[in-house]
Copies of this chain bind each other. A is one copy, B any other.
Amino acid sequence: MLTYPNFSFDITHKDQKSGARIGRLKTPHGEIETPNYIFCGTKATVKGVTPDQLHELKTDIILANTYHLMLQPGADLVEKLGGLHKFMGWNGPMLTDSGGFQVFSLGEGTMANEIKGKNTGKHDNKSLISITEEGCVFKSYIDGRKIKLTPESATHIQQQLGADLFMQFDECTPYHVDKEYTARSMEMSMRWGDRCLSEFERRHNGKQAMYGIIQGGVHSDLRRVSAEYTADRPFFGTAVGGCLGGTEEEMELVVRESLPHAHPERPVHFLGIGQLKDVFRFVRLGVDTFDCVIPTRLARHGTAFMKGVPGETINLKNAKFREDHTPLDEGNNVSASCNFSKAYLHHLFKAGEMLGMQLLAQHNIATINRLMREVRAAIKAGTLDELEKEWIPK
Protein backbone atom coordinates (compact mmCIF):
# COMPACT_ATOMS: atom_id res chain seq x y z
CA MET A 1 0.00 0.00 0.00
CA LEU A 2 1.31 3.41 -1.07
CA THR A 3 2.13 5.62 1.92
CA TYR A 4 3.64 9.07 2.37
CA PRO A 5 5.75 8.90 5.53
CA ASN A 6 7.39 12.31 4.99
CA PHE A 7 4.12 14.09 4.33
CA SER A 8 1.13 14.87 6.49
CA PHE A 9 -1.98 16.98 6.47
CA ASP A 10 -3.63 17.82 9.77
CA ILE A 11 -6.83 19.77 9.97
CA THR A 12 -6.34 21.85 13.09
CA HIS A 13 -9.53 23.90 13.00
CA LYS A 14 -12.92 23.83 11.31
CA ASP A 15 -15.23 26.80 11.04
CA GLN A 16 -18.63 25.19 11.62
CA LYS A 17 -20.45 28.21 10.22
CA SER A 18 -18.69 28.48 6.91
CA GLY A 19 -17.14 25.10 6.20
CA ALA A 20 -13.67 26.65 5.98
CA ARG A 21 -10.79 24.83 7.62
CA ILE A 22 -7.27 25.40 8.84
CA GLY A 23 -4.68 22.75 8.08
CA ARG A 24 -0.99 22.03 8.38
CA LEU A 25 0.53 20.51 5.27
CA LYS A 26 3.95 18.99 5.85
CA THR A 27 6.37 18.27 3.01
CA PRO A 28 10.08 17.38 2.90
CA HIS A 29 10.79 21.04 2.09
CA GLY A 30 8.82 22.52 4.95
CA GLU A 31 5.39 22.93 6.39
CA ILE A 32 2.70 25.36 5.29
CA GLU A 33 -0.49 26.42 6.94
CA THR A 34 -3.65 26.24 4.81
CA PRO A 35 -5.63 27.82 3.25
CA ASN A 36 -2.70 28.95 1.15
CA TYR A 37 -1.88 30.17 -2.35
CA ILE A 38 0.56 28.46 -4.69
CA PHE A 39 2.31 30.95 -6.98
CA CYS A 40 3.05 29.92 -10.55
CA GLY A 41 6.67 29.50 -11.52
CA THR A 42 5.75 28.08 -14.92
CA LYS A 43 9.19 27.70 -16.51
CA ALA A 44 11.07 27.28 -13.21
CA THR A 45 10.79 30.97 -12.33
CA VAL A 46 8.01 33.02 -10.82
CA LYS A 47 8.13 35.63 -13.56
CA GLY A 48 10.28 38.59 -12.56
CA VAL A 49 10.75 37.62 -8.91
CA THR A 50 13.87 36.05 -7.37
CA PRO A 51 13.64 33.25 -4.78
CA ASP A 52 15.07 35.65 -2.18
CA GLN A 53 12.27 38.08 -2.93
CA LEU A 54 9.67 35.30 -2.74
CA HIS A 55 10.85 34.63 0.79
CA GLU A 56 10.80 38.34 1.68
CA LEU A 57 7.22 38.46 0.39
CA LYS A 58 6.42 35.62 2.82
CA THR A 59 5.65 33.12 0.07
CA ASP A 60 5.13 29.60 1.42
CA ILE A 61 4.79 27.48 -1.72
CA ILE A 62 5.15 27.72 -5.50
CA LEU A 63 4.50 25.49 -8.50
CA ALA A 64 6.13 24.77 -11.85
CA ASN A 65 4.63 23.36 -15.04
CA THR A 66 5.59 19.97 -16.38
CA TYR A 67 4.51 20.81 -19.93
CA HIS A 68 6.87 23.78 -20.26
CA LEU A 69 9.78 22.17 -18.45
CA MET A 70 9.65 18.87 -20.35
CA LEU A 71 10.11 20.90 -23.54
CA GLN A 72 12.71 23.35 -22.19
CA PRO A 73 15.17 22.51 -20.63
CA GLY A 74 13.87 18.91 -20.45
CA ALA A 75 13.24 16.71 -17.42
CA ASP A 76 16.45 14.69 -17.90
CA LEU A 77 18.53 17.83 -17.55
CA VAL A 78 16.63 19.11 -14.51
CA GLU A 79 17.12 15.72 -12.86
CA LYS A 80 20.80 15.70 -13.76
CA LEU A 81 21.20 19.15 -12.22
CA GLY A 82 19.68 18.00 -8.95
CA GLY A 83 15.96 18.59 -9.43
CA LEU A 84 13.78 21.65 -9.66
CA HIS A 85 14.41 22.95 -6.14
CA LYS A 86 18.13 23.14 -6.72
CA PHE A 87 17.79 24.20 -10.36
CA MET A 88 15.72 27.28 -9.60
CA GLY A 89 17.03 28.04 -6.12
CA TRP A 90 13.75 27.56 -4.27
CA ASN A 91 14.10 25.55 -1.07
CA GLY A 92 10.47 25.60 0.06
CA PRO A 93 7.52 23.35 -0.76
CA MET A 94 6.75 23.01 -4.45
CA LEU A 95 4.11 21.44 -6.67
CA THR A 96 4.10 20.42 -10.32
CA ASP A 97 1.10 19.80 -12.52
CA SER A 98 0.99 16.83 -14.90
CA GLY A 99 1.24 18.69 -18.18
CA GLY A 100 -2.24 17.62 -19.24
CA PHE A 101 -3.87 21.00 -18.81
CA GLN A 102 -1.51 22.65 -21.27
CA VAL A 103 -1.54 19.77 -23.73
CA PHE A 104 -5.31 19.78 -23.92
CA SER A 105 -5.54 23.54 -24.04
CA LEU A 106 -5.04 25.23 -27.37
CA GLY A 107 -1.28 25.41 -27.54
CA GLU A 108 -0.87 27.75 -24.60
CA GLY A 109 -3.29 29.06 -22.06
CA THR A 110 -6.68 29.42 -23.67
CA MET A 111 -7.97 26.46 -21.70
CA ALA A 112 -8.35 29.04 -18.95
CA ASN A 113 -11.28 30.41 -20.92
CA GLU A 114 -12.66 26.93 -21.38
CA ILE A 115 -12.55 26.25 -17.66
CA LYS A 116 -14.59 29.31 -17.01
CA GLY A 117 -16.97 28.46 -19.83
CA LYS A 118 -15.80 31.25 -22.11
CA ASN A 119 -15.58 28.87 -25.03
CA THR A 120 -15.66 30.03 -28.60
CA GLY A 121 -17.41 26.90 -29.87
CA LYS A 122 -14.34 26.12 -31.95
CA HIS A 123 -12.09 23.22 -31.15
CA ASP A 124 -8.99 24.16 -33.07
CA ASN A 125 -6.23 22.84 -30.85
CA LYS A 126 -3.68 22.50 -33.60
CA SER A 127 -0.91 21.31 -31.35
CA LEU A 128 -2.88 18.30 -30.04
CA ILE A 129 -2.54 15.39 -32.46
CA SER A 130 -4.35 12.54 -30.74
CA ILE A 131 -5.91 11.37 -27.48
CA THR A 132 -6.12 7.61 -26.97
CA GLU A 133 -6.33 5.25 -24.06
CA GLU A 134 -2.54 5.13 -24.06
CA GLY A 135 -2.12 8.89 -23.68
CA CYS A 136 -1.80 11.83 -26.02
CA VAL A 137 0.47 13.06 -28.76
CA PHE A 138 1.09 16.76 -29.30
CA LYS A 139 3.40 19.05 -31.18
CA SER A 140 6.01 20.99 -29.21
CA TYR A 141 5.31 24.73 -29.32
CA ILE A 142 9.06 25.25 -29.42
CA ASP A 143 10.17 23.19 -32.41
CA GLY A 144 7.10 21.38 -33.69
CA ARG A 145 8.41 17.90 -32.89
CA LYS A 146 5.83 15.26 -31.89
CA ILE A 147 5.77 14.36 -28.23
CA LYS A 148 3.85 11.61 -26.49
CA LEU A 149 2.64 12.11 -22.96
CA THR A 150 1.16 9.18 -21.05
CA PRO A 151 0.19 8.62 -17.44
CA GLU A 152 3.49 6.80 -17.03
CA SER A 153 5.66 9.46 -18.67
CA ALA A 154 3.86 12.37 -16.94
CA THR A 155 4.52 10.61 -13.64
CA HIS A 156 8.12 9.81 -14.42
CA ILE A 157 8.80 13.37 -15.60
CA GLN A 158 7.37 14.75 -12.37
CA GLN A 159 9.56 12.35 -10.44
CA GLN A 160 12.54 13.66 -12.35
CA LEU A 161 11.53 17.27 -11.66
CA GLY A 162 11.26 16.34 -7.99
CA ALA A 163 8.60 18.74 -6.67
CA ASP A 164 7.11 17.76 -3.31
CA LEU A 165 3.53 17.57 -4.54
CA PHE A 166 2.38 16.45 -7.92
CA MET A 167 -0.64 15.72 -10.02
CA GLN A 168 -1.96 12.62 -11.73
CA PHE A 169 -2.24 12.85 -15.52
CA ASP A 170 -5.80 13.52 -16.64
CA GLU A 171 -7.70 14.76 -19.65
CA CYS A 172 -8.97 18.25 -19.06
CA THR A 173 -12.26 18.45 -20.98
CA PRO A 174 -13.46 21.67 -22.55
CA TYR A 175 -16.85 23.30 -21.89
CA HIS A 176 -18.44 22.67 -25.24
CA VAL A 177 -18.24 18.84 -25.22
CA ASP A 178 -21.36 16.86 -24.36
CA LYS A 179 -22.00 14.85 -21.25
CA GLU A 180 -21.28 11.56 -22.96
CA TYR A 181 -17.79 12.71 -23.99
CA THR A 182 -17.20 14.14 -20.52
CA ALA A 183 -18.23 10.84 -18.91
CA ARG A 184 -15.99 8.75 -21.17
CA SER A 185 -13.10 11.12 -20.65
CA MET A 186 -13.56 11.08 -16.88
CA GLU A 187 -13.52 7.31 -16.84
CA MET A 188 -10.34 7.29 -18.87
CA SER A 189 -8.80 9.85 -16.47
CA MET A 190 -9.65 7.48 -13.63
CA ARG A 191 -7.86 4.62 -15.40
CA TRP A 192 -4.98 7.02 -16.08
CA GLY A 193 -4.96 7.83 -12.36
CA ASP A 194 -4.44 4.18 -11.52
CA ARG A 195 -1.61 3.93 -14.03
CA CYS A 196 -0.03 7.05 -12.50
CA LEU A 197 -0.19 5.48 -9.03
CA SER A 198 1.44 2.26 -10.27
CA GLU A 199 4.19 4.12 -12.05
CA PHE A 200 4.68 6.39 -9.05
CA GLU A 201 5.01 3.46 -6.66
CA ARG A 202 7.68 1.84 -8.80
CA ARG A 203 10.15 4.64 -8.09
CA HIS A 204 8.66 6.08 -4.89
CA ASN A 205 11.47 7.49 -2.73
CA GLY A 206 9.33 9.05 -0.03
CA LYS A 207 10.08 12.58 -1.19
CA GLN A 208 6.98 13.17 -3.28
CA ALA A 209 3.23 12.86 -2.90
CA MET A 210 0.56 12.62 -5.59
CA TYR A 211 -2.84 14.27 -5.93
CA GLY A 212 -5.78 12.68 -7.75
CA ILE A 213 -7.92 15.01 -9.83
CA ILE A 214 -11.70 15.24 -9.78
CA GLN A 215 -13.06 15.61 -13.31
CA GLY A 216 -16.65 15.36 -14.60
CA GLY A 217 -17.31 18.77 -16.11
CA VAL A 218 -20.43 20.55 -14.89
CA HIS A 219 -22.29 17.32 -14.21
CA SER A 220 -22.99 16.64 -10.54
CA ASP A 221 -23.34 12.88 -10.94
CA LEU A 222 -20.04 12.62 -12.81
CA ARG A 223 -18.22 14.86 -10.32
CA ARG A 224 -19.46 12.58 -7.54
CA VAL A 225 -18.17 9.45 -9.27
CA SER A 226 -14.80 11.07 -9.90
CA ALA A 227 -14.53 12.41 -6.34
CA GLU A 228 -15.34 8.99 -4.90
CA TYR A 229 -12.70 7.47 -7.17
CA THR A 230 -9.98 9.81 -5.85
CA ALA A 231 -11.05 9.10 -2.27
CA ASP A 232 -10.83 5.37 -2.88
CA ARG A 233 -7.25 5.43 -4.17
CA PRO A 234 -4.05 6.07 -2.22
CA PHE A 235 -3.57 9.63 -3.40
CA PHE A 236 -2.11 12.05 -0.87
CA GLY A 237 -4.35 14.94 -1.90
CA THR A 238 -7.38 15.82 -3.99
CA ALA A 239 -7.47 18.39 -6.77
CA VAL A 240 -10.51 19.89 -8.46
CA GLY A 241 -9.89 20.21 -12.18
CA GLY A 242 -11.52 20.39 -15.56
CA CYS A 243 -14.37 22.49 -16.83
CA LEU A 244 -16.07 24.39 -14.05
CA GLY A 245 -18.92 25.96 -15.96
CA GLY A 246 -19.92 29.26 -17.49
CA THR A 247 -20.80 31.34 -14.45
CA GLU A 248 -19.53 31.85 -10.94
CA GLU A 249 -22.62 30.10 -9.65
CA GLU A 250 -21.99 27.08 -11.87
CA MET A 251 -18.34 26.97 -10.73
CA GLU A 252 -19.46 27.07 -7.10
CA LEU A 253 -21.99 24.33 -7.72
CA VAL A 254 -19.33 22.07 -9.26
CA VAL A 255 -17.11 22.42 -6.19
CA ARG A 256 -20.04 22.16 -3.81
CA GLU A 257 -21.10 18.87 -5.38
CA SER A 258 -17.57 17.46 -5.72
CA LEU A 259 -15.93 17.98 -2.35
CA PRO A 260 -18.43 16.23 -0.04
CA HIS A 261 -17.46 13.04 -1.88
CA ALA A 262 -13.72 13.65 -1.72
CA HIS A 263 -11.57 12.18 1.04
CA PRO A 264 -12.33 14.36 4.10
CA GLU A 265 -8.83 14.23 5.56
CA ARG A 266 -6.79 15.03 2.48
CA PRO A 267 -5.68 18.47 1.33
CA VAL A 268 -7.84 19.91 -1.44
CA HIS A 269 -6.24 21.91 -4.24
CA PHE A 270 -8.26 24.01 -6.68
CA LEU A 271 -6.41 24.04 -10.02
CA GLY A 272 -5.93 27.37 -11.79
CA ILE A 273 -8.37 29.47 -9.76
CA GLY A 274 -7.30 32.42 -7.65
CA GLN A 275 -8.95 35.82 -7.78
CA LEU A 276 -9.48 37.38 -4.37
CA LYS A 277 -13.21 36.66 -4.45
CA ASP A 278 -12.51 33.03 -5.40
CA VAL A 279 -10.43 32.61 -2.27
CA PHE A 280 -13.29 33.79 -0.04
CA ARG A 281 -15.85 31.76 -1.95
CA PHE A 282 -13.98 28.49 -2.03
CA VAL A 283 -12.25 28.34 1.35
CA ARG A 284 -15.83 28.17 2.64
CA LEU A 285 -16.33 25.00 0.63
CA GLY A 286 -13.20 23.39 2.07
CA VAL A 287 -10.56 24.28 -0.52
CA ASP A 288 -7.11 24.31 1.12
CA THR A 289 -4.84 25.57 -1.66
CA PHE A 290 -5.27 27.71 -4.77
CA ASP A 291 -3.03 28.45 -7.72
CA CYS A 292 -3.33 30.93 -10.52
CA VAL A 293 -1.01 32.84 -12.86
CA ILE A 294 -2.85 36.11 -12.34
CA PRO A 295 -0.73 37.68 -9.58
CA THR A 296 2.27 37.90 -11.89
CA ARG A 297 0.38 38.04 -15.21
CA LEU A 298 -1.74 41.00 -14.14
CA ALA A 299 1.42 42.67 -12.83
CA ARG A 300 2.96 42.52 -16.29
CA HIS A 301 -0.04 44.45 -17.58
CA GLY A 302 0.12 47.14 -14.91
CA THR A 303 -2.61 45.75 -12.68
CA ALA A 304 -2.26 45.65 -8.90
CA PHE A 305 -4.37 43.62 -6.48
CA MET A 306 -5.65 45.93 -3.76
CA LYS A 307 -7.28 45.33 -0.41
CA GLY A 308 -10.53 47.22 -0.06
CA VAL A 309 -10.96 48.26 -3.68
CA PRO A 310 -14.19 47.33 -5.51
CA GLY A 311 -13.25 44.98 -8.34
CA GLU A 312 -10.09 43.85 -6.48
CA THR A 313 -7.59 45.70 -8.70
CA ILE A 314 -6.36 49.03 -10.04
CA ASN A 315 -4.43 49.60 -13.25
CA LEU A 316 -1.35 51.75 -12.82
CA LYS A 317 -1.32 52.64 -16.51
CA ASN A 318 -4.41 54.74 -15.90
CA ALA A 319 -3.66 58.47 -16.33
CA LYS A 320 -5.25 59.25 -12.97
CA PHE A 321 -2.15 57.85 -11.26
CA ARG A 322 0.24 60.19 -13.09
CA GLU A 323 0.67 62.51 -10.12
CA ASP A 324 -0.38 60.19 -7.31
CA HIS A 325 2.36 60.37 -4.69
CA THR A 326 0.85 57.66 -2.47
CA PRO A 327 2.32 54.15 -2.31
CA LEU A 328 0.28 51.09 -3.24
CA ASP A 329 -0.38 49.74 0.25
CA GLU A 330 1.77 50.27 3.31
CA GLY A 331 -0.24 47.57 5.08
CA ASN A 332 1.62 44.99 3.01
CA ASN A 333 4.83 45.92 4.80
CA VAL A 334 7.12 45.14 1.85
CA SER A 335 9.29 47.54 -0.12
CA ALA A 336 7.42 47.22 -3.44
CA SER A 337 4.13 48.21 -1.80
CA CYS A 338 5.50 50.90 0.54
CA ASN A 339 8.48 52.65 -1.02
CA PHE A 340 7.29 53.64 -4.50
CA SER A 341 4.52 56.05 -5.44
CA LYS A 342 1.76 55.16 -7.84
CA ALA A 343 3.10 58.04 -9.96
CA TYR A 344 6.48 56.30 -10.19
CA LEU A 345 4.88 52.97 -11.14
CA HIS A 346 2.73 54.79 -13.71
CA HIS A 347 5.93 56.30 -15.13
CA LEU A 348 7.67 52.91 -15.30
CA PHE A 349 4.80 51.44 -17.33
CA LYS A 350 4.61 54.52 -19.59
CA ALA A 351 8.36 54.27 -20.15
CA GLY A 352 8.21 50.50 -20.82
CA GLU A 353 10.58 49.74 -17.93
CA MET A 354 10.59 46.15 -16.67
CA LEU A 355 11.03 47.33 -13.09
CA GLY A 356 7.33 48.26 -13.17
CA MET A 357 6.36 44.65 -13.82
CA GLN A 358 8.79 43.44 -11.18
CA LEU A 359 7.52 45.78 -8.47
CA LEU A 360 3.86 45.00 -9.23
CA ALA A 361 4.58 41.25 -9.24
CA GLN A 362 6.12 41.67 -5.80
CA HIS A 363 3.20 43.77 -4.63
CA ASN A 364 0.61 41.29 -5.92
CA ILE A 365 2.35 38.34 -4.31
CA ALA A 366 2.66 40.24 -1.02
CA THR A 367 -1.00 41.23 -1.22
CA ILE A 368 -2.14 37.65 -1.76
CA ASN A 369 0.13 36.27 0.93
CA ARG A 370 -1.33 38.87 3.29
CA LEU A 371 -4.84 37.90 2.15
CA MET A 372 -4.14 34.26 2.98
CA ARG A 373 -2.69 35.17 6.40
CA GLU A 374 -5.76 37.27 7.17
CA VAL A 375 -8.10 34.57 5.84
CA ARG A 376 -6.50 32.00 8.13
CA ALA A 377 -6.76 34.34 11.12
CA ALA A 378 -10.40 35.09 10.27
CA ILE A 379 -11.28 31.40 9.97
CA LYS A 380 -9.81 30.84 13.41
CA ALA A 381 -11.70 33.86 14.79
CA GLY A 382 -14.94 33.10 12.97
CA THR A 383 -14.86 36.47 11.21
CA LEU A 384 -14.52 35.48 7.56
CA ASP A 385 -17.64 37.42 6.48
CA GLU A 386 -16.32 40.62 8.01
CA LEU A 387 -12.90 40.11 6.42
CA GLU A 388 -14.46 39.57 3.00
CA LYS A 389 -16.27 42.91 3.29
CA GLU A 390 -12.98 44.60 4.18
CA TRP A 391 -11.19 43.12 1.20
CA ILE A 392 -13.95 43.34 -1.39
CA PRO A 393 -16.33 46.19 -0.60
CA LYS A 394 -19.54 46.21 -2.61
Contact = CB atoms under 8 A, between A and B. Distances in A.
A88 to B, nearest CB: 7
A73 B335 contact: no
Contacts of A335: 50, 52
A208 B351 CA distance: 26
Nearest to A88: B344
A377 interface: no
A6 interface: no
A301 to B, nearest CB: 14
Nearest to A82: B325
Contact of A77 (B68, B89, B322, B339): B322
A68 B348 CA distance: 12
A353 B44 CA distance: 9
A323 B77 contact: yes
Contacts of A87: 341, 343-344, 347
Interface size class of A (residues with CB under 8 A): 35 or more
Interface of A: 43-45, 47-52, 68, 72-73, 77, 80-82, 87-89, 322-323, 325, 335-336, 339-341, 343-344, 346-348, 350-351, 353-355, 357-359
A348 B89 contact: no
Contacts of A68: 351
Contact of A355 (B49, B80, B323): B49
Given A77-B323, A323-B81, A335-B52, A47 B353 contact: yes
Contacts of A322: 73, 77
A340 B86 CA distance: 9
A266 B203 CA distance: 70
A77 B321 CA distance: 12
B348 A45 contact: yes
Given A44-B344, A50-B359, A81-B343, 20 more contacts: A43-B347, A43-B351, A43-B353, A44-B351, A47-B353, A47-B354, A47-B355, A48-B355, A50-B358, A51-B339, A52-B335, A73-B322, A73-B347, A73-B351, A77-B322, A87-B341, A89-B344, A354-B354, A354-B357, A354-B358
